[in-house]
Every structure is written in structure tokens, then in C-alpha cells.
Structure 1
């Protein structure tokens, strides 16, 4: 039986596909390739299309014996979500509804969901616990929370069990050096910093230096993309064993400020990486760091890349060999 990975040609999706293939899993990928890359797939069976297209998804489910779904397909830019919330509700929330309806129709009872710790909003505690309140400060986080709630009701009505994984900043690249992070336009901090080191940008913009943090810049958790992939696969295993629906945080438990990330990049790359202070962006909480203690205890998750310098090195290795991403 196959695992369906929606958004499987994207950054985290493609790394998860690679890890599934390494475990000899049968993998089916659905991606509209608006943000994903065909070249990022090391194998699997790709269907190019949109999860909101009912006839297209019928073909996917009819041609394959799907056991479980890992759901990555979503828009994920905080700033854009504040400017165009309709785009996020239509793609993220309505797209998930369409997917769950097809899972119901084809009797697929397991889904692992790529959520976000942006569902918490401004945290009550640091590090954040799964039991903390959810009060998103941006439309992106609000749509992900809505998707989680939708899955809970589909569990109640149709016994579709889900695991929702809430995490912050994925970073780094596959150890093989064959796949890495390539967005157009790029919005993630580490690859943007590395573009400065490659001479593709004159400087890195820092959005806000007056937050209530030690150096005034936002503090975030960073996790290696392969460690995230491992967690998604462990969540599938939990559901295969009859586990109940659950929500887990994923994080290193240690936050790094924007200024600290830039300094580590300077050390790894040997480049001065000029930084320019800009105004705050709407919807950015000051500090987001997650506790993964429950995840480690219940899923047996053990991150292999615990240090940001190590994560940065894998990203730098990939960007040096792929300065234009997957484009030649």
C-alpha cells in the first residue's frame, strides 16, 4: 500500500519523500508544482495537479491503494497571508476539506498534517506546550488551526485519525546534497542570508529590532528538514499501530534571534553578510520556541541535527552547489 504525500515536491515534502523511499515505502506524490520542483523528487509516482480538483483526485485514489496521507500542500507565507487571507483560506482550508472528503469517499483513515506553531500566536510560555492556548496572530496560523479543527471533526464523524505536527522554521538540506531549499520568491531567513553570502543580495533585512527579546530581534526555533521528515514518518507509524489522533510540537527547544542566526551564518560561510534594520512585519510574534518533550516520549523522535551551526552547514553546502536552486 502507498503513502500519498500532498505537496510532496516542496521543500519539506521532497525531503519526506526521500526518507520514505529510503525506508522502501511506496510513495505517491500530488503537487501542482506552483511552489514545488519536479527535480526535488528522488523517486515516487508524481501526479501533477491540485487537491481541490475532485476529478483529478479521484484518479489518484482510484489508481493507487492509498494507506495514509502526509499533507503538506498549503501556502505558508505569514506576510502574504495578512495581505491576501482569501488565498490562504481557499488553498489551505478548502483544499484540506476537499482532501478529507476524498479520504472519506475512498475509506482512507490515516493523515499526518504539517501544521505550524503559528497556531499558538503570542505564547503563554516558552517553550510552548501542546496544551497552551491557540490564538494565532496571522491569517496563515489561523488557517492551519482551522485545518486541525476540521480534521478533529472528520475523526469524530468518519474515524479518520490524524497527527498534527506543529513546528516553526525548517532549515538545512539533505545529507546527500541532492535536494535542498528553493522557493520563488525566497522568504525563509536562512536561505536569504546565504544568498547574501553568495553575492545574490546586497544585505539581509532584519524586520524589527525593538521586540521584547535579549537583542530586540525575533527569536525562533530551527529544525533540520530531515529531522522533520523523520517525525512525519514516525507519526504514520503511530497511526499504523492504531494510535489515536494527536497534536505534537516539533522543535529543538532552543531559540535563536535573527541577529544570532546571521552571526552563525557569518561563521559558517566566512562572509561578512551586511544586515539592514527594517520596520516590523505584521503578524510576527516576538518569541516562538516549542517544547518537543511529548513528541520524543510518545513518538520516539530523536533529532539528529541538534545545533544550528550544523544545520547551517548543510544548507550552505547545498546552496554553494545549487546557487540558482533547481534552475540550471
Structure 2
């Protein structure tokens, strides 16, 4: 394999992007970050990582970064990720997630960067009619977030066919947890991720946790999701980059999940178990754009990459999220 090339991480000050930066550095890859800091945090990027505050639609800035850092691969995390918001404000998502990704891809091609890894989503599947989705499950998003990501997958496929570029689209399921060493975690105020919200409630910074819908076609009536630890997900990105470099004519699309689902109530019960407390549940109507159940079949990624999750345990995911939430409170002077 080629030597480890410098990697540009877009959205590298955000939740998942910052963990990818940690995983790359742990594996001795040179890293640079671009982030506009609209939802990311400068403190999430280590001081010894080259950081550029800016937008991925800024072609001039990207060209300068590619040249200054001698970038050989891009990991693309920058974008908007809240499903209900995408339903209420679809044009924001088609701008941030689709149009700006198009600008980034154009800059990648212009600079001759040969490898790109894209942060896609299980929302591309919509409401599947199978218990666990494979990469061949029909793609039929039910919200603008899913469509905005699927459009970018299509752009990457078409661009790879026309130019000297290979890519990997990783379709995430529900990402949760925090770096086991306490170096990072989900820091966004007002975040909507269930485990983030639940640990905030467990620590008293929220009064309750909203349970949006109790009439889904699931065993307990609440939505079922496949939760993946953010550090396992970050590790998958590094392995995917190695795979792209090893076979430059091959592109990949793979699910990132554990293949097991937990309902909203099961997650809240697990948080109670880990904290030896009781979270107040606030039962509310369904949110727009939420499927009943979404569980991955991770067979392809396990067959393609030497990816073996290290944190595939719900209580462990919650414990790491809880530890980060406590650290975050101390950082903000609230403890």
C-alpha cells in the first residue's frame, strides 16, 4: 500500500468528524481539518492538527488547503443531520448536504485528489420492508435529509466513473457514545440524538426525555434503531481509506451498524440501569420523517474490511456518553 497520505477531514470539529481525526492520528495519518464552526467546536480539534475555518463551498480555500497540506484523501463529514429539521427546511439540507458536497467534489477533482470517503446515512433506505437492511435494499428516502445524502452518493458514483477518483460511502445507523479516553464526544447544545438527550436528563440538565411516538409497529410501540459507537464508526473510516488506497479502481458502499436494534424505551431503561436512576419519559406524538425500525445488516463491511467493533454494547456506549457529558459540564463550568 502507498504510504499514509495527508487526509483532509471536512466537518472535523463536529461530533463524528472529530472522532475520525482522533482515529487517523492514532493510526499515524497526517490530518488537516476544515470546519465553518456553525455546529462544530474548535476545542474538538487537537492543537497539533492543521485547522482551517471555512466552508467546503469555498473553492479557493480548498485549493489552497490541498496544495499546502499535499492532501491525498478527503473524509467528508460536513453537513446538516437533523431529520425533522430537514422536513421543515428542506432547502437548507439540499444546500448544505448536496450543493456544497457538489462543490467539494469539484474541488477534489480539480486538485487530483484520488480518494474520498463520504458520511452517508441509513436514512437513504426510508422505511424498509425487511428486518435488517443490506446495501442492496431499495433506496427510498422519506425525508429531505435522506435524499440530500443519496444525491451525493449518486454524484460520487458518476464522478468516479468519469474521473480518477474512488470513494467509499458509509451509511451510518444511529451514532452514539464518546471517545473511551475522554478526548471527545457529542458537544452540540440542544442535540436531538436520543442517547445524548438521555444522559443529559440523567445528569439533570434536562427535565425529561421526549418519546416521539408510542404507536409504531414495534414490540413496545416506540421506534427501534441500530446504535453504533462513534469510535467504532471512526475506525471503519480509517480502514475504508486503507481499502481505497489498496485498490484504487474500486469504490465501496457499506452499512455501518451492529445489526441489532433497541427501542427508545429500551435505551432509556439502559440509561437508568447504567446510572442507577430514573429518567422522566415525556410521551409525545410522532415526528415527521421517522421510520418504525431501522436495523443494519453489517455483513458487507465485515467481509470487506478487517473491521471488528470494540464497543458493540449498549451499556458501554451509554457509559462513554455519560462520562463525556460530565466532562463537558465541567469544561463549561456547570459542575
Question: Shorter-normalised TM-score: what interval?
Answer: over 0.9
Written as runs of structure 1 = structure 2, the 5 A alignment for 1:251-290 is 251-290=257-296
* 1:216 equivalenced with 2:216 (yes/no): no
Please give the secondary structure, in 2, of the residue aligned with 1:323: helix
TM-score w.r.t. structure 1 length? 0.97
Match of 2:140 in 1: 135
Contact 1:124-1:133 at 8 Å conserved across structures: no
How many Å separate the matches in 1 of 2:237 and 2:87? 28
14, 21, 26: which is aligned to 2:18?
Answer: 14
Corresponding residue to 1:28 among 10, 28, 32: 32
SS of the residue aligned with 2:126?
coil
The alpha carbon displacement at 1:159 in A equals 2.8
> 2:171 touches 2:256 (CA, 8 Å); kept in 1?
yes
Aligned to 1:153: 158
Given candidates 88, 91, 100, the residue that maps to 1:95 is 100
Consecutive unaligned residues of structure 2, counting only runs of 5 or more, are none
Task: Kindly state the Cα deviation for residue 178 of structure 1 after the two structures are TM-superposed.
Answer: 2.2
Task: Report how many residues are paired.
Answer: 327
SS at match of 1:163: strand
Distance 2:206 2:133 in 1: 34
8 Å Cα contact 2:112/2:164 also seen in 1:
no
- Residue aligned with 2:9, SS: strand
Aligned to 1:167: 172
> Does the CA-based 8 Å contact 1:198-1:323 persist in structure 2?
no
Q: 1:52-131 residue pairs with structure 2 within 5 A? A: 52-131=57-136
**1:27, distance to aligned residue in structure 2 (A):** 0.1
Query: Quick one: which of 14, 39, 42 aligns to 1:38?
Result: 42
**CA offsets per residue over residues 135-155 of structure 1, 9 Å max, x none?**
001100000000000000101
Give how far 1:175 is off.
1.3
CA distance in 2, matches of 1:269, 1:48: 38
String of CA shifts for 1:165-192, please: whole Å, max 9, x gaps.
Answer: 0011111111111211111321111111
Contact 2:81 2:145 in 1 (8 A): yes
Which among 231, 241, 244 is matched to residue 239 of structure 1? 244
CA-to-aligned-CA distance 1:45-89 (integer Å, 9 cap, x gap): 110000011222122122121111110001010000000010001
Whole-angstrom distance in 1 between the partners of 2:23 and 2:183: 13
Indicate whether 1:303 and 2:314 are aligned: no
| Aligned residue number for residue 233 of structure 2 | 228
SS in 1 for 2:72: strand
Q: Distance in 2 between matches of 1:91 and 1:172?
A: 25
Q: 1:22, CA displacement in angstroms?
A: 1.0
Q: Cα distance, 1:274 vs. partner?
A: 0.7
Cα distance between partner residues in 2 of 1:48 and 1:129: 37
String of CA shifts for 1:188-219, please: whole Å, max 9, x gaps. 11111111111111111100000000000000
Deviating more after overlay: 14-23 vs 36-45: 36-45
Structure 1: gaps (5+ residues): none
Q: Per the alignment, in what secondary structure is the counterpart of residue 281 of structure 1? A: coil
Deviation at 1:23, TM superposition (A): 1.2
Partner of 1:201: 206
> Which digits, 9 at most, give the CA deviation of each residue in 1:245-264, with x for residues without a partner?
11100111110000000000
Deviations 1:1-31 (A, max 9, x none): 3101000111111111011111111101010
Q: State the 1:157 CA deviation.
A: 1.0
Q: Which runs of 4+ in 1 moved over 4 A?
A: none
Root-mean-square deviation (CA), in Å? Answer: 1.1
1:49 equivalenced with 2:46 (yes/no): no
